[in-house]
Every structure is written in C-alpha cells, then in structure tokens.
C-alpha cells in the first residue's frame, strides 16, 4: 500500500490521540506514515519533513499539536499539500482552547483544515476523503464507510421505535 498520508505530532505524548487517525486510515485502506516532529524542539526536522513530503508521495499531512500548537501552521507554511490540524488537549494546555485557536486562526494564504479538539479520527477520515476524490478505490472505501454510518443510524432508529426508548438505553 502506497503511503499517501503523513501523520505527525509534536510529542510522543500526543500518540494516544493521533493513533485514532492512523486507525481510521487503516480501516479506509489508506497508506500512511506516523512520526514525531516538534516545531519547537526539532525545527530542522519539521522543515525537512514539510519540504520532502510531496517527493515522498505524501498527498495530505495530518499534524497534531497541543499547547501553542505551531506544528500544523508551520508545516502548512512550507508545503502546498493540504494540512489537517488536530488540536490536542495536553498537560500544559488551557482546556485545549490555546491549541484550537493556534491552529484555527491562520493568516490568509496559509490555510489549515482544523478538526475538533482531540479529533484525530475525523482528521483521518477527512484525509481519506480528500484522497478519495481522486483515487477510485479510496473513493469506494469512503462510500462504503458512509453507507455503514447510515445503516447504523437506521438500525438504532428501528430499535428505539420497536422497543421504546426506555428499553433501548445502554445497561
């Protein structure tokens, strides 16, 4: 499977959140790589990663960061590839809002698609959707994924309607 998505994070402590992006990509049949790239502690590594991504076959970069959360925006400033930012509520975070706003409030010309706080699963799904717009197999995988979501909702509705809401509550 060709590697098409780069998943990077500012610290190994971000891995429990960012692993959800990797899991989503695996389920959707999208090849990825995953590593740690710190905007503040390894800026040269960040520059090298951003500059080499396209030549290595990467189509989308998912960048997760907590606290000041500079990684997604800095990477986006150095590549024309789409970057999806995942704000992470870290130990030094202010309820995650510092990370959200650091990723969301990018200057004109340097867009970063931003998902919810700790929303790495949606970042993986969004990356697969972007690739699926141009890759027929990934597009079919995304169609099946969306159909499965629809079927789950319909099954839930049928259960509640047939059993009643009181009998449908989790036990």
C-beta of residue 76 within 8 angstroms of C-beta of residue 60 = no
Q: Is 36 helix (H, G, I), strand (E, B) or coil?
A: strand
- 77 known ligand binder: no
How many CA atoms within 13 Å lie on the side-chain side of 131? 29
The verdict on whether residue 54 carries a ligand-binding annotation is: no
Handedness of CA 67, 91, 17, 54 (dihedral sign): positive
41 marked as binding residue:
yes
CB 63, CB 72: distance < 8 Å:
yes
CB 95 within 8 A of CB 73: no
- C-alpha torsion sign, points 46, 81, 52, 34: positive
Mark the binding-site residues, compressed into ranges. Answer: 11, 14, 41
Mark the binding-site residues for substrate, compressed into ranges. Answer: 11, 14, 41
């Amino acid at each position: 499977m060709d590697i098409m998505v780069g998943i990077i994070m500012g610290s190994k402590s971000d891995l429990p959140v960012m692993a959800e992006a990797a899991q989503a990509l695996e389920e959707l049949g999208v090849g990825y790589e995953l590593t740690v790239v710190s905007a503040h502690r390894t800026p040269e590594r960040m520059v090298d990663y951003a500059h080499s991504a396209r030549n290595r076959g990467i189509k989308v970069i998912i960048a997760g960061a907590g606290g000041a959360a500079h990684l997604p925006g800095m990477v986006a400033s150095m590549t024309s590839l789409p970057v999806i930012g995942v704000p992470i509520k870290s130990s030094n975070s202010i309820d995650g809002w510092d990370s959200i706003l650091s990723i969301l409030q990018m200057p004109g010309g340097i867009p970063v698609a931003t998902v919810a706080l700790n929303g790495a699963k949606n970042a993986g799904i969004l990356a697969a959707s972007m690739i699926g717009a141009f890759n027929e197999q990934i597009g079919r995988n995304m169609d099946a994924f969306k159909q499965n979501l629809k079927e789950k909702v319909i099954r839930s509705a049928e259960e509640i309607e047939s059993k009643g809401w009181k009998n449908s509550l989790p036990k």
